[in-house]
């Protein structure tokens, strides 16, 4: 009976070892399917692109589980796009980059598939009508006109002094 018990114990340990190996393989498969596999032409938004493994991050199937890389931010990708170093695809106001474009940017290869992006125009200054100006703003405006008139007078032009019109 001693030999029989040892045989059962040995079989039990072998079964436990096989179960552990199977669980390890299942964990590896779960981890493999957890990460998003991207092709070179798969578009990614800039918020997800900073999580790409090329930039040191972890790109998961669930966007909430993405882990950004330590060296790149969305702002650094936008800056590279504005400088023309990183090529991107526009969909409305959103920028999308592909794995191939990220790889070309990191290795500094030229990729002629997309055109350079021009920087956005600054917003136009707000137009104020005389109705929306406050008394303080009106006084500042008249003070700047008075300073300009005084500067012209100090030049000593031969023309008669300019009279200020009252409103």
Q: What is the pLDDT of residue 21?
A: 93
Q: What is the pLDDT of residue 54?
A: 85
CB 45 within 8 A of CB 94: yes
Please report, in tens digits, the pLDDT of each residue of the chain (167 residues total).
Answer: 688 889 999 999 999 999 999 989 888 776 655 666 677 888 888 988 888 888 888 887 777 778 888 888 899 999 999 888 888 888 888 889 998 899 888 888 655 554 545 556 666 666 655 566 777 777 887 888 888 888 877 776 555 556 666 66
Measured from the Cβ of residue 150, the count of other Cβ atoms closer than 10 Å reads: 9
Q: Which of 98, 84, 45, 52 is closest to 71 using CA atoms?
A: 52
Beta strands in the chain (DSSP E): 44-45, 89-91, 94-97
**Residue that the structure tokens 């070892």 belong to:** 17
Q: What is the pLDDT of residue 62?
A: 75
Q: What is the pLDDT of residue 137?
A: 78
Read off the tokens for 69.
């890389």
Chain mean position to CA 161: 57
In sequence order, the 6+-apart residues with CB closer than 8 A to the CB of 49 are 55, 77, 97, 102
CA distance 112 to 132: 50
Does the global pTM surpass 0.85?
no
């Amino acid at each position: 009976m001693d030999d029989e018990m040892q045989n059962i114990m040995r079989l039990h340990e072998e079964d436990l070892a096989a179960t552990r190996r199977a669980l390890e393989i299942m964990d590896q498969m779960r981890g493999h399917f957890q990460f998003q596999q991207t092709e070179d032409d798969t578009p990614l938004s800039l918020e997800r692109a900073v999580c790409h493994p090329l930039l040191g991050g972890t790109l998961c199937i669930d966007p909430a589980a993405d882990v950004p890389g330590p060296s790149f931010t969305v702002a650094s990708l936008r800056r590279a796009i504005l400088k023309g170093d990183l090529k991107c695809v526009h969909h409305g106001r959103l920028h999308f980059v592909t794995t191939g474009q990220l790889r070309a940017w990191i290795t500094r290869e030229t990729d002629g598939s997309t055109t350079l992006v021009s920087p956005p125009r600054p917003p136009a200054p707000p137009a104020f009508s005389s109705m929306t100006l406050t008394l303080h703003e009106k006084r500042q405006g008249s003070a700047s006109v008075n300073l300009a008139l005084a500067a012209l007078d100090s030049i000593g032009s031969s023309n008669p002094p300019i009279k200020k019109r009252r409103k």
